[in-house]
Every structure is written in structure tokens, then in C-alpha cells.
């Protein structure tokens, strides 16, 4: 059998016959998802890591590349069913761990279209309309953060971590270029007279640390700016550090957090922008999570000054109801993206293609082949509209405040801080000399093992040094009701009380480290 015979196993999705086949396969896949969804009891199947491993061992039998392939509906069903059964149900009210919002139906459909048409953004001939859509979306998102779209630009990325890496790269190249006339493009960093450093607050996302490491700046050249009692960067301290830098160091970036991952803290952006400008340093605002506040008239004011940053990281796959990856790095000045350009993209008479408008985006992005993420983001935002988006953000914020008030009123629970956005930090306070950190870690693992709730965990710095384990609820599902949230907390309290009694009766290793 050759591949283009009828009945062949290769069925391209985009032909008339392929589209009909996709329609049928999608229907059968959706039947399976609906069946699995109806049978669910919690946000994840019970059994923990061992359960997931067993399920995988049962499902993943036979070779990856069998000698003879199989019927697509059967192959799909074999993997889709266990995948769905062991998927975290992010629509469940007790799925509260991670920044994964339940995405919209229209976004999921756009994803299917993007896969069927398989456009790419790197060259004009890889996706002409996809390119136009990408450029249009970036201009509109630039406006959303307050940039002038005539001067601004950006890049869709696989996520905030890559956006942050791109921002640090541009900060390094642009600042060094402007301040020293030297550029790391040709000679690398070694011939530079000064060592580049980056300033950031405590609690910056780890992807900034990783970016500094990947750029060869050295971990020790990420300088920590002290924060105030609310966790916000102290502008005077940033100013002092910049003013007192020794001659052999040159600051290339000041990183501000606009909605920290754990506490939702927003650094004082207008003050930091003024300081960065005075010292000739690139200001990067990491609003991967916090940018959701832009949709809410009530919360938008928290992000005043965002447009004064040279670059802004925005993840719409977090606080934006678009599926991953829906991420963008926005830059105030389009030309700074040329850190990623190896070929000229302006019309230089010699390049016929560029002059004639056959321009792709591989020179303004870290990626070459790049999927069309703009489609699902655009349909999500246009379907919801600003009024619904604002209401959804506010509802999530209200849910967080409801949970915080409830926790603050529970004698056996401690609230971290009032939630500025939608993350609520708390911990259970066990009695009987049980170690609070170990107890909360064990409590979280038990909820996952039993498939009852998914809650995150983090470490929060204590005054006077050290850190404590806190649990975290991330509220990004506006369909959740306060009653459902109360039920999750009730169940958690009940489980904690049972574990406490258990630990005090028959000490186990997990919960009895006393301290």
C-alpha cells in the first residue's frame, strides 16, 4: 500500500476528506471526555504519584512506533481515556494549586483550527494571515499595557519564563550598547571593561535567576534589592545600590514584579521607572500573573506605571482564560527586539523579499518555527469582551478575599496576608508540639493522594531570617462559588484535625519532626 492510496494510514487533516475525518475523530474524542468528566469525583484521581505511574504502565503498552500502525479512532481512544482520567480537572472547585485557568470553549476550538492549518510565524510563506494576526494582537496588547503601538512591539512566547529570558537579553544588549558603545554580539562579554549586573527584589520569579545564569552574567551578579514589610521593593534602596555600584560593575536591568507569584505583590512601578531612567538602566516589569488586573477597572490602578517599563511579561494562560501557551513579551521600543535578529529586516534595496513585504518574524523571536498562539488569544478576548473579563477578574478577587476572611476567622488557621490579587496563603496550626512546616507539607500531600483537593505550597521568609511553609489557593475559576470554596476549606480542616489526632496517637515520620 502506498501512502496516497485510499485507506492509507496517512490522512492529512486539511484536505476535504481530512476535515471530515477530523470532524468524526473530534466527536469521538469529545464523547470520551464527556464520559470521563461525568465519572469524576475530585480534581484529580486518587492514588498520588504511584497511581499515575500504574495508570501509565497500564495504558502505555506496546511500542511507540509499531511496525504496522492502527486505526486513528482506536489509537486516540487508547491514549485519550487515561490522559483524561488522570488529567487534573482544572474546572473543579477544589483545583486550586496552579495558575491554570479553565480555558474557554472558543479558545479550545481555535487551537484545533491552528493545528489543522499548522501555520508558522517565521516566514511570510509559512503563514501570511497568521503573521498579520500576530502583529495586530501584539499592537492591541501593547495598547492594553499603555504603550504607544506605533513605537512598541513584542513577541508571543511559550510562557513567562521565556519572556523573562528575552527581556533580560534585550536589557543586556540595549543597555550595554547605549552605555558603553560595546555590544555583546561580536566580542561576547569578556572584552567589556565592566561586569553587567541585574537588580531584582527578593521573591522575584526564579526564571529571572535562570535568565541571568543563561546569559552568562553569573548568579552572584543578580543583586537583591530589599523589600518593605509589605514585600514591595524599596525604591530608595534600588537607587542607593545603583548609585553605589563599583566602577567595574554596570547595571543592565532593574526587574520589578507586577503581581508576584505567591503574594500578588506589585512593586512601586512609577518610582522604579524614574530611578531606572535616571541611571540609564532597563526596567523590566514581570506581570506574567498580575497583568490580569488590567482587565478590571477595580484593580487596574495597582499597575499604574506599567507603561513606563521597557518591557512587560504578560501570560494570558494564567489570568486570561486562554490555554497555554498564551504568553507575550511587550517592549516599549520595537527596535530593541533586534537582539534576536541575525538578518536585516528593513528594506535595504538589496533584499527584494523584505522590500516587497515578504517578512516573517523569526528575527524578533527566540523561536523559528512558531505556532499561531495569537488565534486562541484573539478569539478569547473578543468573545468575552472587556466587561465580562473585568467581572471575571473581580469575581476571582472576591473569591480570594472570601477565602482569606474565612481563614482569618479559623482559630486553627493562619492567614499569610490579605490577597491583593487571587492567591491566598495560609497554614494550619497543629497543636501538641507538631512541626507546623512538616504538618502542612503532609496535609497537602494527603489531599493530593486522596484526590480531594489540589493546593500549592510555598516558602515565605520569616522576619529575622529563615522561612515557613505556607499553603496556597490560586483562584482563577470565576465559576467557583463561595459555598464550594467553604466546602473545600471545611474538608481541609476536617482532614487536618484527623491527621493531627493520628499523628499525636501514633507518630509517623512525616508529621512528628518536632520544632
Ligand X SMILES: *Cc1c(COP(=O)(O)O)cnc(C)c1O
Instruction: Please give the residue ranges that form the binding site for ligand X (CB under 6 A).
Output: 99, 159-161, 164, 205, 207, 257, 260-261, 286, 288-289, 315, 327
Rounded CA-CA distance 459/455 in Å is 14
Minimum distance between the CB of residue 510 and ligand X, rounded to whole angstroms? 29
Minimum distance between the CB of residue 160 and ligand X, rounded to whole angstroms? 2
Residues 6+ apart with CB under 8 A from 298: 390, 394, 397
Minimum distance between the CB of residue 168 and ligand X, rounded to whole angstroms? 12
User: What are the cell numbers at 287?
Assistant: 506581570
CB closer to ligand X, 207 vs 336: 207
3-state secondary structure of 410: coil
Minimum distance between the CB of residue 266 and ligand X, rounded to whole angstroms? 11
CB closer to ligand X, 179 vs 210: 210
Minimum distance between the CB of residue 158 and ligand X, rounded to whole angstroms? 7
Under DSSP, the state recorded for 416 is: -
State how beta strands 467-474 and 456-461 pair.
antiparallel
How many CB atoms are closer than 10 A to CB 376? 27
Please identify the residue of the shown chain whose CB is closest to the bound ligand X.
160
CB closer to ligand X, 243 vs 461: 461
φ, ψ of residue 282 in degrees (nearest 5): -70, 130
Cβ atoms of 153 and 142 within 8 Å: the answer is: yes
Minimum distance between the CB of residue 329 and ligand X, rounded to whole angstroms? 11
Minimum distance between the CB of residue 260 and ligand X, rounded to whole angstroms? 6
Minimum distance between the CB of residue 502 and ligand X, rounded to whole angstroms? 35
Of 163, 169, 141, 162, which Cα lies nearest the Cα of 153?
Answer: 141
CB closer to ligand X, 161 vs 336: 161
User: What are the cell numbers at 150?
Assistant: 506605533
CB closer to ligand X, 201 vs 390: 201
CB closer to ligand X, 119 vs 164: 164
Rounded CA-CA distance 343/164 in Å is 23
Rounded CA-CA distance 285/330 in Å is 10
Q: At what angle do helices 482-505 and 436-449 cross, to 10 degrees?
A: 120
Minimum distance between the CB of residue 157 and ligand X, rounded to whole angstroms? 8
CB closer to ligand X, 162 vs 438: 162
Using the structure block, give the residue that is written with the C-alpha cell 522590500.
Answer: 355
CB closer to ligand X, 95 vs 499: 95
Residues 6+ apart with CB under 8 A from 501: none
CB closer to ligand X, 90 vs 176: 90
How many CB atoms are closer than 10 A to CB 84? 18
Rounded CA-CA distance 216/252 in Å is 13
Under DSSP, the state recorded for 150 is: T
Amino acid at each position: 500500500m502506498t501512502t496516497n492510496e485510499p485507506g492509507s494510514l496517512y490522512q492529512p487533516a486539511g484536505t476535504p476528506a481530512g476535515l471530515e475525518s477530523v470532524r468524526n475523530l473530534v466527536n469521538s474524542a469529545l464523547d470520551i471526555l464527556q464520559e470521563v468528566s461525568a465519572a469524576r469525583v475530585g480534581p484529580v484521581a486518587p492514588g498520588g504519584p504511584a497511581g499515575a505511574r500504574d495508570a501509565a504502565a497500564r495504558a502505555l503498552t506496546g511500542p511507540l512506533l509499531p511496525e504496522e500502525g492502527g486505526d486513528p479512532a482506536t489509537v486516540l481512544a487508547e491514549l485519550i481515556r487515561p490522559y483524561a482520567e488522570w488529567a487534573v480537572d482544572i474546572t473543579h472547585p477544589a483545583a486550586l494549586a496552579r495558575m491554570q485557568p479553565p480555558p474557554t470553549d472558543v479558545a479550545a476550538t481555535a487551537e484545533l483550527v491552528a493545528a489543522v492549518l499548522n501555520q508558522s510565524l517565521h516566514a511570510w510563506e509559512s503563514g501570511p494571515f497568521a503573521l498579520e494576526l500576530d502583529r495586530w494582537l501584539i499592537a492591541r496588547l501593547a495598547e492594553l499595557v499603555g504603550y504607544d503601538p506605533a513605537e512598541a512591539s513584542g513577541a508571543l512566547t511559550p510562557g513567562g519564563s521565556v519572556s523573562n529570558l528575552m527581556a533580560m537579553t534585550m536589557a543586556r544588549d540595549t543597555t550595554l550598547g547605549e552605555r558603553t558603545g560595546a555590544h555583546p554580539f561580536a566580542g561576547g562579554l569578556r572584552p567589556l571593561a565592566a561586569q553587567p549586573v541585574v537588580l531584582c527584589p527578593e521573591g522575584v520569579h526564579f526564571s529571572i535567576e535562570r535568565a541571568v545564569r543563561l546569559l552568562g552574567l553569573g548568579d552572584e551578579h543578580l543583586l537583591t534589592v530589599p523589600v518593605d514589610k509589605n514585600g514591595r521593593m524599596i525604591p530608595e534602596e534600588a537607587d542607593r545600590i545603583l548609585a553605589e555600584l563599583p566602577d567595574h560593575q554596570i547595571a543592565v536591568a532593574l526587574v520589578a514584579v507586577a503581581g508576584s507569584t505567591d503574594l500578588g505583590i506589585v512593586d512601586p512601578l512609577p518610582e522604579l521607572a524614574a530611578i531606572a531612567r535616571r541611571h540609564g538602566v532597563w526596567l523590566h516589569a514581570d506581570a506574567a500573573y498580575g497583568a490580569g488586573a488590567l482587565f478590571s477597572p477595580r484593580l487596574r490602578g495597582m499597575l499604574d506605571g506599567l507603561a513606563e517599563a521597557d518591557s512587560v511579561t504578560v501570560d494570558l494562560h494564567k489570568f486570561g482564560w486562554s490555554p497555554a501557551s498564551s504568553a507575550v513579551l511587550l517592549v516599549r521600543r520595537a527596535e530593541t527586539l533586534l537582539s534576536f535578529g541575525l538578518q536585516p529586516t528593513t528594506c535595504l534595496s538589496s533584499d527584494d523579499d523584505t522590500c516587497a513585504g515578504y517578512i516573517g518574524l523569526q528575527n524578533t523571536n527566540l523561536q523559528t518555527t512558531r505556532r499561531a498562539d495569537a488565534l486562541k488569544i484573539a478569539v478569547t478576548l473578543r468573545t468575552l469582551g472587556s466587561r465580562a473579563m473585568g467581572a471575571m477578574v473581580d469575581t476571582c478577587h472576591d473569591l480570594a478575599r472570601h477565602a482569606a476572611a474565612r481563614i482569618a476567622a479559623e482559630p486553627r488557621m493562619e492567614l499569610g496576608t490579605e490577597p491583593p490579587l487571587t492567591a491566598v496563603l495560609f497554614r494550619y496550626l497543629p497543636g501538641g508540639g507538631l512541626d507546623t512546616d512538616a504538618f502542612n507539607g503532609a496535609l497537602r500531600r494527603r489531599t493530593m493522594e486522596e484526590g480531594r483537593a489540589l493546593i500549592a505550597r510555598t516558602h515565605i521568609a520569616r522576619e529575622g531570617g529563615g522561612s515557613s511553609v505556607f499553603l496556597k489557593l490560586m483562584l482563577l475559576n470565576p465559576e467557583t462559588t463561595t459555598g464550594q470554596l467553604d466546602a473545600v476549606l471545611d474538608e481541609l480542616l476536617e482532614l487536618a484535625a484527623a491527621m493531627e489526632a493520628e499523628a499525636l496517637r501514633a507518630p509517623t515520620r512525616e508529621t512528628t519532626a518536632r520544632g
